[in-house]
Amino acid sequence: MSAEIERKLTTILCADVAGYSRLMESNEVRTLERLRRLRTLFAGLIERRRGRVVNTWGDGLIAEFPSVVEAVQAAIEAQKELLLADDGTGESERLRFRIGVNLGDVIVEGQDLYGEGVNVAARLQALAEPGGVVVSGTVYDHVRGKLAVGFDFAGPQQLHNIAEPVPAYRVTDGATPPTTRRPAPAAMLPAAAKGVRAGLGSRLLRTYILIVAFFFLINLFSGMHTVWFQWPALGIGFVMALRWSLSR
């Protein structure tokens, strides 16, 4: 009889070094020494936020936290302190970490964690910019309004080997307050704007036809033996056309 599988809900942080292979090719010994030093610092920051390092491999690291807020705070602090601690000779030589954070259900096996909750965090980390942090929608829902940072909605992401798209947010420097709702995907905005402009054009056309008909009837029953209604109609048409062009 197989042993019962243990599961739990936890916050997963995944990190790796951007361009690690290139840096190792340039100077293996120097890069490895810096990586070890920075990863020791990273582990200390994780423990300070009540997390624990689950596993490390190559340039990668997985940690878990009982608190979603503490996990994101640890990621933000790590990016700041690791950048200051790295002594790369130039911007291209710096060890810049990419971090992904996810809240999900995982399988527990001894000290290791497995499952989709871990996989999502790893895929989000791959989406992060060097020195950046990307969090899932479930993480964002728990931390919004609780941290002095901003969040840019990156849209639903179709992650490798993950069936359903995962909403993702990039952590910003806090110049913009955290968003309180998920904005519509950018691709929908132009279509909505076109719909508004189309509705305005249709209303202007109907209004113009009524005005021309009104002036025509006045001209017809005024008893005057000259046609004059086209001149005010043309003037009003010009004004409406100008308004339409300004709305585009």
Segment 58-95, tens digit of pLDDT = 899 999 999 999 999 999 999 999 988 886 666 777 89
The dihedral formed by the CA atoms of 148, 152, 158 and 160, expressed in degrees to the nearest 10: -50
What's the confidence (pLDDT) of residue 189? 43
User: Residue by residue, what is the 3-state secondary structure of 106-135?
Assistant: EEEECCEEECHHHHHHHHHHHHCCCCCEEE
**Which residue type is seen at 105?**
D
- Residue 43 in this model has a pLDDT that exceeds 80: yes
Contact 141, 130 (CB under 8 A): no
What's the confidence (pLDDT) of residue 2? 54
Instruction: Please report, for the chain, how many H helices and E strands are present, in that order.
Output: 7, 8
pLDDT tens digits, one per residue of 180-204: 444 444 444 444 444 545 555 667 6
Give the DSSP letter of residue 146.
T
Mean per-residue pLDDT, 21-36: 90
- Residue 98 in this model has a pLDDT that exceeds 90: yes
The dihedral formed by the CA atoms of 46, 50, 52 and 58, expressed in degrees to the nearest 10: -10
Q: Which CATH number fits domain 6-172: 3.40.50.300, 3.30.930.10, 3.40.250.10, 3.30.70.1230?
A: 3.30.70.1230
Question: pLDDT tier at 125 (50, 70, 90 boundaries)?
Answer: very high
What's the confidence (pLDDT) of residue 181? 44
- Residue 107 in this model has a pLDDT that exceeds 90: yes
Mean per-residue pLDDT, 111-125: 93
Contact 69, 146 (CB under 8 A): yes
What's the confidence (pLDDT) of residue 223? 65
Q: Whole-angstrom Cα distance, residue 243 to residue 223?
A: 34
Percentage of residues in the chain with pLDDT exceeding 70? 72
Which range is least confidently modeled, 122-126, 132-136, 152-156, 213-217? 213-217
pLDDT tens digits, one per residue of 135-177: 999 999 999 999 989 999 999 998 888 888 999 999 997 544 4
